[in-house]
Chain A
Amino acid sequence: MSNDFRSGRAAIVGAAESDLGAVGDAYSAMDLMAQGVYRALDDCGLGIGDVDGLFCATTQNRLAGLALAEYLNLPEAYIDSTSTGGSSFMGHLVRAEAAIAAGLCQVAVVAYGSTQRSLGRKNTSRPEWNPYESPFKPFLPPTAYALAAARHMHQFGTTREQLAEVAVAAREWALMNPVAWEKNPLTVDEVLASRMLSYPLTIRDCCLVSDGGGAIVLTTPERARALSVAPVYLLGSGHCTTHQTISNMPDLTNTGARVSGSLAYAQAGLTSSDIDVVGLYDAFTINTILFLEDLGFCAKGEGGDFVSGGRIAPGGTLPVNTNGGGLSYCHPGMYGIFLLIEAVRQLRGQCGERQVNGAEVALAHGNGGVLSSQYTVILGGAATV
């Protein structure tokens, strides 16, 4: 994003999930995406006729923007259906904000939908043949993250128990989220004893495979003022693409989040110590450790220690993934939209039992591919603009 970015050019006014969990294979990805859009519009008091910007991605429709325009009957809407994997929606938010500032649209929705659980991963996210990787049968994406975890363990002495602490903290938050998929407590020993998928990651080190969708709504500051909701603003953002395939990642223990985070902090004029509530794309337990380090919440190599002893769990010193995360709340293929929804709700004070008191600044960090695309956004309430 250019240096002349200033916050307050557009406001996030609506946020909502579709039905989550297991919706059944008669539903389509577009059903859930549209359901998310309608609910997010209901959330802020706007109607479908107000929408003139569509920002979306899904693995189940190659032409996602066209599919959403068709479904919602919005032939003239501005469309951006760029895909950077799970981080797509951070990019959509940034470009929706810029599009509104540039006058390309006035009411934009950022939306996602997936029926990955009901249809099966093989049917919703077809693997692509890569002659330099596929013959060795990595179980992707888990094996890519397992390679990063193994390297982190080798370099810094991180342990499987510390990885498990991430899953346990996510579960504790999920137990306070009524729509989270997981409903029962989890222990470190249970994580370690669960089925190994790709060493050192067990199935409990890996995100859920669920159905689900959701959306957020952005509009001009003028239109936002006419609505009876507390606006949320984009304060800064940054993106970095270090690779697509894991064999081309320059350093498995240093992600592009270091760059994306620095850009976002610089743009917002903030540091990690200013963040009240943290959302990190936890497709795998190693992600949370890597992103805490790369986004400056602890030093490189100390992420394993940092997540131990309940520090990122409810009652800890840093609230991370308060919705329960991709590990325990929901993870329908691409998870970025859900980080945005939770950040908006935390800043509005709508999170009930899991609400972080006085949350004014939220960081939502998206990850796409296999640690490939790192997209950081920092959001704040009206007092921060």
Chain B
Amino acid sequence: MPTPNVDARNDTAPYARYVQHLQAGELAYQFSTVAERAVFFPRVRCPYSGKDCLEWRISAGVGTVYSTSVVYPRTGAPYNVALIDLDEGFRMMSRVVTDDPLQVIIGQRVRFQSTVEEGVDDPIPVFHPLEHQA
């Protein structure tokens, strides 16, 4: 049965829930219990089954750089844009924070941090290189 408008609450929107977790320092994603796989970006229903089977989970925040670019703006310093594959099986766009954005490499292991960016209302997820692994 459709939800009456009077009960519609903006804070249950998928993006709002995602942001609530970022505000708590957490990277949240959805998991489809039917398709048994991660879902990202957050949705109102599972894109693999169409069913109401999405549960929210918290990522461990560790992933691998899937691809990387460096944008050269007309003014200002070059900066990194990367696609990160999280270990739980979902991909997102982000930035790897380093001194030299050209040093970000595909396959590099990275760790999530929630951060607040000037000019952006909500916190965003960025990534830092993982310390040297044995």
Alpha-carbon separation in the docked complex, A150 to B80 (Å) = 13
Contact flags B55-77 to A (C-beta < 8 A → 1, else 0): 00000000000111111110000
Q: Does B81 make an interface contact (CB < 8 A)?
A: yes
Q: Of B67, B102, B117, which is within 8 A of A135 by CB? A: B117
B contacts with A, residue count (CB < 8 A): 25
* Residues of chain A with a CB closer than 8 A to B93's CB: 132-133, 136, 138, 245-247
A137-B79, A195-B72, A200-B69 are known; give 11 further A-B pairs, CB within 8 A: A132-B41, A135-B117, A135-B120, A138-B69, A139-B73, A143-B69, A143-B71, A143-B81, A150-B67, A154-B107, A247-B41
* Residues of chain B with a CB closer than 8 A to A248's CB: 41, 91
* Residues of chain B with a CB closer than 8 A to A148's CB: 67
Contact flags A269-283 to B (C-beta < 8 A → 1, else 0): 000000000000000
A131-B122 in contact (CB<8A):
yes
- Shortest distance from the beta carbon of A105 to any chain B beta carbon, whole Å: 36
- Shortest distance from the beta carbon of B129 to any chain A beta carbon, whole Å: 17
Interface size class on chain A is: 20 to 34
Q: Of A131, A136, A252, which is within 8 A of B67 by CB? A: A252
Given A246-B83, A247-B93, are A137 and B67 also a contact pair (CB < 8 Å)?
no
Among B80-134, those with CB < 8 Å from A are: 81, 83, 91-95, 102, 106-107, 117, 120, 122, 124
Nearest 6 A/B pairs, CB to CB? A146-B69, A247-B93, A199-B70, A151-B67, A147-B67, A154-B106
* Residues of chain B with a CB closer than 8 A to A146's CB: 69
A147-B92 in contact (CB<8A):
no
Alpha-carbon separation in the docked complex, A133 to B71 (Å) = 14
* Residues of chain A with a CB closer than 8 A to B83's CB: 147, 246-247, 252
Q: Of A198, A246, A252, which is within 8 A of B71 by CB? A: A198
Contact flags A126-144 to B (C-beta < 8 A → 1, else 0): 0000011101111100010
Q: Does B15 make an interface contact (CB < 8 A)?
A: yes
- Shortest distance from the beta carbon of A140 to any chain B beta carbon, whole Å: 10
Alpha-carbon separation in the docked complex, A137 to B93 (Å) = 10
Residue in chain A with minimal CB distance to B19:
A131
- CB pairs A–B below 8 angstroms (7 shown): A132-B93, A138-B69, A143-B71, A150-B67, A154-B106, A198-B70, A199-B72
Alpha-carbon separation in the docked complex, A135 to B69 (Å) = 15
Alpha-carbon separation in the docked complex, A195 to B91 (Å) = 30
Q: Does A98 make an interface contact (CB < 8 A)?
A: no
- Shortest distance from the beta carbon of B11 to any chain A beta carbon, whole Å: 15
* Residues of chain B with a CB closer than 8 A to A72's CB: none
Residue in chain B with minimal CB distance to A202:
B72
Given A137-B79, A143-B81, A199-B102, are A247 and B91 also a contact pair (CB < 8 Å)?
yes
Alpha-carbon separation in the docked complex, A143 to B70 (Å) = 8
Alpha-carbon separation in the docked complex, A135 to B124 (Å) = 7
Alpha-carbon separation in the docked complex, A24 to B54 (Å) = 52
Alpha-carbon separation in the docked complex, A133 to B81 (Å) = 9
Q: Of B70, B94, B106, B124, which is within 8 A of A151 by CB? A: B106
Contact flags A307-330 to B (C-beta < 8 A → 1, else 0): 000000000000000000000000
Q: Does A351 make an interface contact (CB < 8 A)?
A: no
Q: Of A131, A132, A138, A196, which is within 8 A of B81 by CB? A: A138
Contact flags A44-75 to B (C-beta < 8 A → 1, else 0): 00000000000000000000000000000000
A131-B68 in contact (CB<8A):
no
Q: Of A132, A150, A195, which is within 8 A of B68 by CB? A: A150
Alpha-carbon separation in the docked complex, A131 to B122 (Å) = 9
